A and B are shown apart, each in its own frame.
Chain A
């Protein structure tokens, strides 16, 4: 192969280093006006009155919108259509948008916000999940499973209690994973305008233009065919730009009303309120094992703090329990998950979506199990790793598994045998593993259509244009698109112009989320390119009188493999084909294979294939200050095949970076203002200075190993890399801390304060640990019983004898 697998400059590299990439806030249109949002100052209240007349009277103010202008709700999931562009009657967190001012310039709009008079009637504020479980009324939303429980689920695969009885040892541990946020350097921005033909066009820094397109059509009651959504290149996404957002709806409506382009760019503080970040999750893991480490059964319980809206939360809830079985063989498995509403910015998908939290618990517990059974933790993982081509207990079809190879590579690279348990006090190493989906197997709204489509236009000049709805969020999706097409057509990436993320011009791709783009768009691109190549080959074969199967496409030529001098240039090949067939274009599409799961809730977790990672982290802990220094991280990732190793390595190192932030410092936390003030629940520090993230000085040296075992389901064998390598790092840090100083920190972030508390506990002869000690009563429903494949199950749930209603009303215990 000429392109695939070779490190090279990404196709959009030049634009990025010259400052020519046009992000949403870089768009300046004639007659453009500016929008600012007034956000709620109280966490939970009814809106008694809004008076916008003083604001509207200000010079330069053109329009003021409120909730009554947006009666129709929307939301990313069909089951959670609980958002309005501007609050209707009720606000649900500090930062919930209440009104919008559109004015001739940003400053005028901003100043006018102070002249909107809002009267609130405060309601009980739910600050954490235990509040929400304890008090079913008032409800934050009038939907959900009950009270303030958004979703409660229970899935059981086999007789877990019997498995615990059969085990030699049963371990039960509680963990807490604090919430954190994406912190893309680009603040969300959008520009809306009325096209000359009167239709709506919206440019937005969104990861999911297709879903924004649908939401706009619904909320604004405009035919979708008359709306064009263009995803501008995102200045970082990480999941935080995957929902349809208030500000997109507002500028769209305003542009139609004013017939002028309207722009909004959120402030950094507002980005913290948009959030959709990592759910705080409290969890317990109960795991039965044999003395050789074999797992007999596992029971996982999770409690998610969802914040004020649904977002992707139902999916997030299932994801906290979906992938435990994909790494190691778990013959019986019971998962109970619950997401509650609280009066905080909504949580949603952040890199790893719902799985890093439970991966953290699982991998630390494995470390404890290994120590208890006197098995090396790396060896333990090698013993229990899941087999390739397996259907797991929860009906996830696993293809290739490079996890064992990842463990071997990373332990060799880090010299594990000579370091684990052997470094001086204060220094240590820890290992952890993980897996992640290469694209969600099901779309967000139910349909039978492809998940990704690619169209090619071949020009008689030899130029090719590749159209696809996929969104460039920095991960390199445009480069994957042109790389795949260039490889098949035998031309250079620079010969191809990618046109992406535009609902008018490009076929639908569902968006840049769930690590789906490389696999799904890549397969669609290959199909489209092969179809185009076929047309060219027909025409060239006739012209040269060479059998089609002897033709090779390479070096911008089409030639006879047996006589390489006999051939034509690529442009001539297109001309021959155009003369034969007319205008040359082709399409390709990709639909994931049907999942084996036939039970409710089985829609979350299936993927065409899974990536695997193993990480070893070295820490250096200062015993007097508790300060943790991470000098080195070794990580091996099962990529299937790397399409462009430069970009793959960037995804691995970027994942490690973000993971180090989550492990050591990043947290999205809240506090109550004093009683004499409003007593509101506010974000502790909605600024980049106070929300700590790793700088160049904090970043460890990362040694990346790529395990390449091409997966037949991936384009040229490729699997995902954008999210998986983040997952093992946080638990590996915690395990390394234990190796270094003998204390367990069972929650993130692992701060110096927690280290010192655990060291104090150890010195006092108490449990040398910092972390949650209890798990509250959660009214999970009766389990849905699905017999695993090895018990003759067919993926369907057993018929219920009882109904699936909640056992008891939510009461505080």
Chain B
């Protein structure tokens, strides 16, 4: 089978690439462009690990053929760093435990970026909905939601928090801190109940 040859923009750079025509965008990125930051978990469109942005929209790169991408713009996790600085989402994910094994992380990051590009200030439910196509087996998602919210709070150029200390998001109740005031937490729990 003869290779196809096409030109596209990858992470802002004009790129030419030749590949077998049956290859998916995922395979072209990983195998022909050496962009291994994009992962795969099923290659059937089930897990969301291979998400990239195609002309700004999140797509599952395992379900897009490479030949469909002629002249289009692709953004992968490698393209999130600008001028040597991590994207606020990347900082927040790293600081707040949103990446454990890190395998699903690239897919979550670009999908979250697409959400933030569209909504300046999404609610927790909108974040849940936007990320529903990405599976994570490590985190239980909660620290991912918090990281997205922290990145929003930090603004487009900001850094949510400073390492090694500090965290804007809720930390678990630890030892004495909670024991000092056990009533406040249950009062909050009842308040939550009532407001439902």
Contact = CB atoms under 8 A, between A and B. Distances in A.
Contacts of A705: 172-173, 178
Contacts of A693: 135, 137
Report which residue of A10, A17, A233, A237 has the largest number of chain B beta carbons within 10 angstroms of its beta carbon: A17
Contact of A26 (B36, B42, B46, B172): B36
A391 to B, nearest CB: 28
B38 to A, nearest CB: 7
Given A657-B141, A696-B128, A699-B140, A13 B99 contact: yes
B90 interface: yes
B57 to A, nearest CB: 19
A645 B171 contact: yes
Contacts of A695: 132, 135
Nearest to B124: A701
A184 B92 CA distance: 23
Contact of A14 (B30, B86, B101, B134): B86
A326 interface: no
A182 B138 CA distance: 11
Q: Which secondary structure characterizes the binding site on chain A?
A: loop
A267 B77 CA distance: 23
A762 to B, nearest CB: 27
B94 interface: yes
Nearest to A688: B46
Contact of B163 (A8, A16, A187): A8
Interface string B162-193: 01111100011111001000100110011001
Contacts of B4: none
Interface stretch (A133-141, A160-168, A364-372, A409-417): A409-417
Contacts of B43: 267-268
A658 B137 contact: yes
Contact of A704 (B99, B127, B135, B172): B172
Nearest to B94: A13
B96 to A, nearest CB: 7
A185 B49 contact: yes
> Interface size class for chain B?
35 or more
A473 interface: yes
Contacts of B139: 650, 653-654, 657
Contacts of A234: 101
Contacts of B103: 23, 184-186, 235-236, 474
Contacts of B190: 415, 418
Interface in B106-146: 106, 109, 127-129, 131-132, 134-145
Nearest to A707: B175
Contacts of A475: 100
Contact of B37 (A9, A19, A649, A654): A19
B149 to A, nearest CB: 13
> Interface size class for chain A?
35 or more
A693 B136 CA distance: 10
A687 B39 contact: no
Interface of B: 30-31, 34, 36-44, 46-47, 49, 76-78, 80-81, 86, 89-91, 93-97, 99-106, 109, 127-129, 131-132, 134-145, 163-167, 171-175, 178, 182, 185-186, 189-190, 193
23 contacts: A6-B164, A7-B165, A10-B97, A17-B77, A18-B80, A18-B81, A19-B78, A26-B30, A26-B36, A184-B101, A184-B103, A186-B103, A412-B185, A474-B102, A475-B100, A476-B100, A645-B174, A646-B171, A649-B97, A658-B140, A696-B131, A699-B142, A704-B172
Closest 8 CB pairs of A and B: A19-B37, A474-B101, A16-B102, A235-B103, A657-B140, A13-B94, A653-B140, A8-B164
Given A650-B139, A699-B128, 17 more contacts: A7-B167, A8-B164, A8-B165, A9-B94, A22-B36, A185-B135, A474-B102, A474-B138, A493-B164, A654-B138, A658-B140, A696-B129, A696-B132, A696-B141, A697-B128, A704-B173, A706-B175
